[in-house]
Structure 1
Amino acid sequence: MGADGTAITVMVVDDHPIWRDAVARDLADDGFQVVATADGVGAAARRAAVVRPAVVVMDMRLADGDGAQATAQVLAVSPSSRVLVLSASDERDDVLEAVKAGASGYLVKSASKQELAEAVRATAQGRAVFTPGLAGLVLGEYRRIARDETGPAQPSLTERETEILRHVAKGLTAKQIAARLSLSHRTVENHVQATFRKLQVGNRVELARYAIEHGLDE
């Protein structure tokens, strides 16, 4: 449910009918209102313009393009929508392009039904959804900026943000970090999101590519 008690509206974009229908069915079972489905970039944009879903669950491999193109076109016609990418592990570079295009985050396709529902709810609430590996690369970029005296002014991370990112970089989930530091799950997510804003605004894909090339997301 959304903040006003109404069902969160969702559009599912995937070029595989069986997978698309299964995701739509799972979300409907969990109380979401699936207002549209689409198999490609063009269909996603046309339907988003009409139904303006709160969340778009976006596959990366589509009938007439990729998830990055679809993300950009959907957000162009429905700016209030938020995009959650469903990714296979070998599609990392494409996912980063989707993030650059405006996706709020991504979830791996091996996620459970419960994890998908939680990710869609978080996306609808404006929270970033990223796997620990992608979130952890932020710490690597922070360290790189700190070492680079000729680069831009070093962003200021709080001690708590730095502490949380150290845990994230080790692969811990937000829930695990919250338990370890005696914080709420939401507080941990908010700290990670704040750090993303400080280090990635307008340049998210460049940051991610650097970290991946240097093994900082491992």
Structure 2
Amino acid sequence: MNAQNETAGHDHAAAAATRRVLLVDDHPLFREGLAAAIDLDDHFTVVAEAASGEKALVEAARTDPDLVVMDLGLPGLSGIEATRRLLMAHPHIRIMVMTMSEDDDNLLAAMRAGAHGYLLKGALREDVLRALHTVARGGAVFGPQTTERLSALFAAFGSAPAKEAFPTLTAREREILDLLAVGLTYRQIAQQLCVVEKTVRNHVGAIFSKLQVHDRAAAIVRARNAGLGPQPQ
């Protein structure tokens, strides 16, 4: 009896850990192939598909996915704007861009919109699944070519303003990062922004993820290196 209960509990935990995925792409054959590949991994299940940005918003509201695989070249509402609106309406969603575009402007625009990953459509199935696992765990992932381009772009920024140095951060996240760099506590930041402390902590968690740091001290170092907070005279 106990063994049965334990097995049932394990199965329930495994089911609960399955990540719900929404696919957004205007090419049915690509969606079909990607859905088949993703469904082979027990950690994911495709709960909906959308051929446009507008439909993506509808399906996200209907199915409440954990992950969205987003194309950029969509008819009507762009993948960039769809990403931005999805994250405004559903902040918990993690979004990975999959596109044919190797354009630097699209890459940075996707990051500014809040995308957590950026892969080209030529990526191998195992690379796509590995990227989905990373994004699902709260990390950010970019393909090898994309990483090289990002490194070059960030090197070109030099001592650029924080908005350029941290293109993945939203305006509110940059504001909070600046206040952290000044030395304010979470409570002080909440009071200054007229929000509850939990909201600040949620934003800070997103900041840590996007900056790929593990604690407040590391985030402050990154922020001050980018020109936020008090600077040495």
Match of 1:72 in 2: 84
Q: Deviations over 1:147-186 (max 9, x none)?
A: x8xx78xx9xxxxxxxxxxxxxxxxxxxxxxxxxxxxxxx
Q: 1:134 to 1:128 in 2, by over 3 A?
A: farther
In the TM superposition, 1:1-218 aligns within 5 A as 5=14, 6-31=17-42, 32-131=44-143, 132-137=147-152, 140=155, 144-145=158-159, 193-194=212-213, 198=222
Instruction: Tell me which amino acid in the other structure corresponds to 1:23.
Output: L
For residues 30 and 22 of structure 1, what CA distance do their matches in structure 2 show?
14
Share of identical aligned residues, percent?
A: 32
Check whether the contact 2:24–2:49 (CA below 8 A) recurs between aligned residues: yes
For residues 101 and 192 of structure 1, what CA distance do their matches in structure 2 show?
15
How many residues of Structure 1 are paired with residues of Structure 2 in the alignment? 155
Structure 2: 5+ residue stretches without partners? 1-12, 166-208, 224-233
Q: Offset of 1:119 from its aligned partner?
A: 0.5
Q: Offset of 1:78 from its aligned partner?
A: 1.7
Q: Offset of 1:89 from its aligned partner?
A: 4.1
Across the aligned residues of Structure 1 and Structure 2, the Cα RMSD in angstroms comes to: 2.9
Query: TM-score, normalized by length of structure 1?
Result: 0.63
Q: Deviations over 1:33-84 (max 9, x none)?
A: 1011101111000111121211100011112232101101211222210110
Q: 1:140 to 1:194 in 2, by over 3 A?
A: farther
Check whether the contact 1:68–1:95 (CA below 8 A) recurs between aligned residues: no
Structure 1: 5+ residue stretches without partners? 156-189, 200-218
Greater relative contact order: 1 or 2 (C-alpha under 8 angstroms, separation 6 or more)? 1
For residues 155 and 213 of structure 2, what CA distance do their matches in structure 1 show?
16
Secondary structure, counterpart of 1:65 in structure 2: coil
In the TM superposition, structure 1's runs of 4+ consecutive aligned residues that sit over 4 Å from their partners are none
